[in-house]
Amino acid sequence: MTSASSPPPRRRGWNPRPLERRILLFLGDALAAWLAWLLANGVWMWVAPGVYPPRTWLPFLFSRPTWFYFLPFVWQALLVELYNDARANHWEETRRGLVAALALALLGYLGLYVYLADIPGPPLLPRVSVAAFLGLAAVTTGLWRAVYVFVFLRRVFIRRAIIVGAGRHGQDLLRLLTSLNPPPFTLLGFVDDDPAKQGETIGDLPVFGPSHRLPELVDPLAVTDVVVAVQGTISGRLFQALLELQARGVAVSHMNAVYEEVLQRVPIAYLDATWMTRAFLDEARKTVYYETLKRLLDIIGGLVGLALFLILTPFLALLIYLDSGLPIFFSQQRVGLHGRVFRVWKFRTMRPDRRREQGRWAREDQDRITRLGRFLRRTHLDEIPQFWNVLLGHMSLVGPRPEQPEIVDMLEQRIPFYRARLLVKPGLTGWAQVNMGYVGTLEETRIKLEYDLFYIKHRNLFFDLYIILRTFGAVLGARGG
């Protein structure tokens, strides 16, 4: 039996979860890139000197220079920002991202072509074939992304959920999920054991009845998910109902897990010390193999960054001097792993003021930022000297951004679990940094902490590499905070 206000019965179909959607996007982009690669080879074969009858097609493919096989991977790396749900789910954002990727690829190719043009011998970068690949890749990827936005985001592919618990937490979850565009779920209603709530409507959603009625709602409403928004212990009847739903193929999740899956942040407002000890600290521990590989990546990245520092410093130092005089560098104390304090160096982006250099958020000093400093911050070039901190082991390439001791002390008093950021080394870039950039308010800092805790809980080498790629996208697009 269902409420008269409930949605009509539907059959359950294929309803991908957020992670499955990201995998679908990745595979579709890969297929589009390799299709463009094959078509570009056809163009190359057509314009190449000599006659290539159809039977020589495969030999022609296998005779291409090694670098040409890497073009699909390079193209897909340029699309890394388009795996962010906020951009992937909207066609205008997708279109802008594709245009930016194509422009960046063309500029990179032209730079290489000019650099290699004077090398004796046959051309190392044939113009027509590379241009054909980039143009075709933009078209095939654009077509695939259009199919994803206009087909796979339709309601028929959206998961259908019932929320268990119509109290404060359930209503908070309702507001969160309905604020997203497009929403990750079609929300059908609540179940709640409180007799006063049964039969009521909360936020346009009906309360179907007590929780033990869940199994009888699944088929009429084509429910794919049940989200438990009950804090503390649950009744034996509800536990039995949830077990039955799982046996019938319905995904049962706690609201904290849904929060992480959808927003890729940890919901600190709903955590308690027990969860922190049992789940976060246990899952945050990593193997010695990961830590060793991460340190190796830090050393390699630190050496590359130090070489970049040596190349750019004369030019940046001159520009800083001409723009706002001396000093060229700026240093500050920051808090690192397990609360250890260390000193970081940056190219100066603000007018000097000794009275205001410690204990202030970056946005509080917007009036002091120089003209060149704004560019350095947007491109993150001001942080190049910190590669030295990475080599010394004070910092990692990826991790929570290090904060000043005074700010850390203040935020530990105001934001729960803030000190958990110190469980790992701070980083040159991080999950919070690529999603938010600089922050200047307590609420923004709380959200940034949620991103940091998500990274600490789920970090692995592939996640680190993904964050590094997104950082390159932010730097090249001058999208710093």
pLDDT digits (tens, 9 = 90+) for 313-365: 999 999 999 998 899 999 999 999 999 999 999 999 988 765 555 556 555 55
Find the radius of gyration of the CA atoms of the chain. 26
Instruction: State whether residue 264 is helix, strand or coil.
Output: coil
**Contact in structure between 379 and 480 (CB atoms under 8 Å):** yes
Per-residue pLDDT tens digits for 34-68: 999 999 988 877 776 655 555 576 777 777 778 88
Q: What is the pLDDT of residue 145?
A: 97
Q: Delineate the domains of the chain, giving CATH numbers in brackets.
A: 18-152 (no CATH), 158-263 (3.40.50.720), 288-476 (no CATH)
Per-residue pLDDT tens digits for 435-448: 987 787 888 999 99
**Which range among 102-116, 291-305, 462-476 has the greatest average pLDDT?**
291-305
| Percent of residues, the chain, with pLDDT higher than 70 | 85
Instruction: State whether residue 339 is helix, strand or coil.
Output: helix
Strand partners, 228: 164, 254
- Strands 251-254, 225-228: pairing is parallel
Amino acid at site 182: P
Instruction: State whether residue 442 is helix, strand or coil.
Output: helix
- H-helix or E-strand spanning residue 335: strand 329-335
Cα distance between residue 69 and residue 204, in whole Å: 54
Q: What is the pLDDT of residue 468?
A: 93
467: nearest Cα among 301, 270, 240 = 301
Length of the chain: 481
Instruction: State whether residue 360 is helix, strand or coil.
Output: coil
Six-digit token string for 372: 């060149």
131-135, 364-368, 381-385, 386-390: the lowest-pLDDT one: 364-368
Cα distance between residue 314 and residue 311, in whole Å: 7
Tokens 């359950």 found at: 12
**Contact in structure between 372 and 320 (CB atoms under 8 Å):** yes
Amino acid at site 199: G
Cα distance between residue 125 and residue 127, in whole Å: 6
Eight-class DSSP state of 279: I
